[in-house]
A and B are shown apart, each in its own frame.
Chain A
Amino acid sequence: MKRVLEGSQAVAEAVRLSRVAVISAYPITPQTHIVETLSDFCAQGKMNARFLRVESEHSALASLIGAATTGVRAFTATSGQGLALMHEVLHWTSGARLPIVMAEVNRALAPGWNIWIDQTDSLAQRDTGWIQFYCESGQEVLDTVIQSYRLGEEVNMPVMVVLDAFFLSHTYEPVDVPEQEEVDRFLPPFVPKFKADPAAPCAFGPLVPPAAYMEMRHSMAQAMEEALRCYPAMEEAFEGLFGRRYGMVEAVHCEGSDIVLVTTGTVTSTCRQVLEELRGKGEKVGLLKLRMFRPFPTDEIRRHLGGAKKVAVIDRNFSFGASGIFAQEIRAALCNEPGHPPVFGFVAGIGGRDVTADTLKGIYEHVKAKESPDRESVWVGLQEVRNEA
């Protein structure tokens, strides 16, 4: 049934429908509505889950590692500083091969203290061994959480479902909330491949010597590759039941377009409208929505961007001393392709600044006017700053 839901509520509904058994989280804006809704569900008996209250995000994820090791579905949610505090435990989760799912509401990192959207928090965790999805709408958020349990459990890797602060987390829009029986068909009860068993005591996370560590890490690398292989079948099944599919990437009019804009999150949505307008005027412009970031869908990216004359990547994040992070990755994916298009990098909407239709049109005009990028990143819409020191 379609209901008008807040993005945060869509996450919570998905967690409920996924029959998660243990939730542990620490409140932080703009993630708080997610766990508030979940704690309501638990209190009202709408969910049969244990809600653990903990003293920090580090403890939230650490406690879920314990829970998930016993072979149950586990969920947490966080944002910005909270995710940064979790960093160490993120590695523990993936190394322990626990398919925990997390909703991560992108929030800028302090200082300056800022509660608004900026993707640097989740992108800074790209090497922790978590699968990452960047979502565009409340519907996509709900669907992706459910998909994440199936995919994560298949390959034994944790999944981070990333959504924009406020533009998605606090926005109400119609969302189709599927029936429990339908979700159960897509996501049957979790059958763990291993779990702590008091009858067969063993140690989890012991010392792994040089003779074995590399193989262990290699198996994680393989699991990520396996996730890429499993994804289409998973989405096939999802579409069969719910009629919706998203893809690891979504190509909109990429074929035959001179310029392709690469976007993530809610910017994609606004960009779709800009695309209609520009194409209506006869502009040969396409859009590639990057949805799955880890594992990185290199082949898909090459396939959709290889034919373009120019590529423009819009980053709501930045790696200091380098460039926007998505731009780096796209460049790296393309660089071994002969005759690959130049990649323009744009940094926009950092720390909650709006990325409007005009912003996107300005980027398009910029790319159209230039043969090749004259620097790695263009910061869009910077204002003059007076230093009154």
Chain B
Amino acid sequence: MEKRNDTAKTSLLILPRTFTSTEANKTGSWRYLRPRYEEKTSPCSNACPAGEDIARIEMLAEEGLFKEAWETILRENPFPAICGRVCFHPCEGRCNRKEFDEAVAIHQIERFLADTARKNDSKPVIVGRNEKRPEKIAIAGAGPAGLAAAYFLTRLGYGCEIFEAREEAGGILRWGIPPYRLPLDVLQAEIARIQDLGIPIRTGTPLGPSFLSEARGKYAAVFLGCGHSRPRGLGIPGEDLEGVEEGLPFLASIRRGDMPKISGPVAVVGGGNSAVDVARSVARLGGESWILYRRRREDMPAFETEILQALEEGVKIRELLAPVRLERKNGRFVFTLQPMRVDGKDVDGRGRIVPDGDVETMEFAKVFKAIGEEAGEDWYRPPAEDRDVLRLSNCTVSMKPGLPVLVYGGDLAASLKSVVHAVASAKEGAIALDILFREGRENLSGGLLKCRVGEGPSLSMEIHLGGPRGRRSSHIVSYSEINADYFQMAPRITQPRLLPEERLKGFDEIDLRISANLAIREAGRCFNCGLCNQCDNCFLFCPDMSIHRGEGGTDRWIDYDYCKGCGLCAAECPRNAMVLEEEKGS
């Protein structure tokens, strides 16, 4: 405070204000708690098998930075347009927002970003290592695992060559998923982007078991992503009768444009996604679809949304019916079925089923078997674990002396058969090979552990390549760590979708695009768990003005000379991007 006599005319003006700086008082010496910026792992990111940095993707999407958001996906997953459509989005199941109102529609935003990038003909710029490595890698199978492996390995600097037995790339995506879920042009655009990286895909080139020895010297490693193509039998009399068809070849023929007219009741045996896809395709071709499943409906491995859509489209499901035999009478199939009931639990946790009463029969015009497939060739099967064979979360690595390193990936070794698990498997294989070649076998396990998103098993290329977001801590943000006072209830976006009657007219994609406005609004619902989105709450609340911002307001740091460690910044951080720790050594 200071007295001032400005002019003789005006009265004394004594102001309650300081005239000297208080900067000499380094009040930070008082501190026994220290706040620190620490980005953490969002639960969605941890739940995503591909380890996508979802908190950041949503932040960028909300800001309208659609290309940057799309590139952020591409750092971890080469297939946003595909996964935005067909992935079963485990991310949303772990979304913290679920505890507040409803989970963020992450998959819809992912699809929006991918479709927008394609509409704009965007060319992604993915920074990070691409120094040329001497090792060449052969990849067997141009399905999701093989394509993704080539994509990741190329980014890591390895020359790759893909061998595909069929006439076109895409694997299960090309031949096993109907167009109403994944239009062909969408798939082709994603594959083209991988080819644009200079990766040759040798289609119509099946590999035999001798390839492994031929590869020696030429390829340092072989990634086997051949998938499951050999159908498993029902093991009942009559299953080989003419007219009893396998599901996958049927779906492949539709993909080729072959649209047979089907009429009358059609049985589809199985409970997985392929069974549901077959049933829904049959419905589109004019047949009356019946899914016959041994267990209960809730035990069906198919995704729930697919089952619900099938029911909307008129598909009927009969649960707890096991096939006994098939006969042909008067041009129709008579299917003898054994009703089942649940009795206790199986080792896998599902209900154990036992026969319940007398068999019944149903008549069908056609029967499809869709109970799953296994590896097409015996040599595709991963060997048992031993000194040279390492089983990882989603792939198996064989390091037999004298042979190229073999990585069994995709459906051959993944924990779950899904597109995103194929990506996870490819990434795990690629990182494993990179560590092997660069750091040696002894560093493999430890190196993989370091790349985990949160507690794993998802892995991150961003972490492996030491990118800035790789520095986020492995702590997974829980809902109780979100400062929910800063968020307002807002309903989740609904997926615009064709009406069931419109869907049955053909194989057009049934889920429609959302607008940019809706995507921005939905992305804005994201808590951005553990991610600093520069909301500036810390800056506003700091009573000591100790939060400093860089040019453009994108960087923040704390002036510990004056920070008294009150912890307001950390407490008022809406999304747990700060920590408060006890001061050490004082």
Contact = CB atoms under 8 A, between A and B. Distances in A.
The answer on A and B forming one complex is yes
Interface of A: 95-97, 154-156, 193-194, 201-206, 208, 212, 215-216, 218-219, 222-223, 225-226
Given A212-B1, A215-B3, A206 B10 contact: no
Nearest to B19: A202
B16 interface: yes
Nearest to B7: A193
B17 A226 contact: no
A95 B14 CA distance: 9
A201 B21 CA distance: 7
- Interface majority SS (helix, strand, loop, mixed), chain B: loop
A217 B369 CA distance: 94
B506 to A, nearest CB: 54
B11 A219 contact: yes
B15 interface: yes
B1 A97 contact: no
B328 to A, nearest CB: 79
Given A201-B21, A202-B19, A208-B1, A215 B13 contact: no
Contact of B16 (A155, A201, A205, A225): A205
5 contacts: A202-B18, A203-B18, A206-B18, A219-B11, A219-B12
B10 A154 contact: yes
B18 A223 contact: no
B16 A96 contact: yes
Closest 6 CB pairs of A and B: A226-B11, A219-B14, A219-B12, A222-B11, A223-B11, A203-B18
Contacts of B1: 208, 212, 216
B11 A206 contact: no
Contacts of B18: 202-203, 206
A206 B17 contact: yes
Contact of A206 (B6, B12, B14, B16): B16
Contacts of B21: 201-202
Contacts of B19: 202
Interface string B174-196: 00000000000000000000000
B11 A194 contact: no
Residue of B3, B16, B19, B22 most packed against chain A (CB within 10 A):
B16
Contacts of B12: 218-219, 222-223
A208 B11 contact: no
Contacts, number: 57
Contacts of A222: 11-12
Interface in B67-107: none
Contact of A216 (B6, B11, B16, B22): B16
Contacts of B16: 95-96, 204-206, 208, 216
A225 B6 CA distance: 17
Contacts of B15: 96-97, 194, 204, 216
Contacts of A206: 16-18
A219 B10 CA distance: 11
Given A194-B13, A194-B15, 19 more contacts: A154-B10, A156-B10, A193-B6, A193-B10, A193-B13, A202-B19, A204-B16, A204-B17, A205-B16, A205-B17, A212-B1, A215-B3, A215-B14, A216-B1, A216-B15, A219-B12, A222-B11, A223-B12, A226-B11
A97 B13 contact: yes
Nearest to A213: B16
B211 to A, nearest CB: 71
A197 to B, nearest CB: 11
A193 B13 CA distance: 9
A202 B17 contact: yes
A218 to B, nearest CB: 8
A223 B3 contact: no
Contacts of B14: 212, 215-216, 218-219
A206 B16 CA distance: 6
B542 to A, nearest CB: 15
A61 B19 CA distance: 25
B450 to A, nearest CB: 45
Residue of B11, B14, B15, B19 most packed against chain A (CB within 10 A):
B11
Interface in B1-55: 1, 3, 6, 10-19, 21-22
A155 B6 CA distance: 11
B545 to A, nearest CB: 9
Contacts of B17: 194, 202-206
Contacts of B10: 154-156, 193, 226
A204 B18 CA distance: 7
Contact of B13 (A202, A205, A223): A223
A194 B2 CA distance: 13
Nearest to A153: B10
Contacts of A225: 11
A184 to B, nearest CB: 22
A97 B13 CA distance: 8
A162 B13 CA distance: 26
A95 B15 CA distance: 8
Nearest to A155: B11
A339 B87 CA distance: 99
A97 B6 CA distance: 14
A103 B22 CA distance: 38
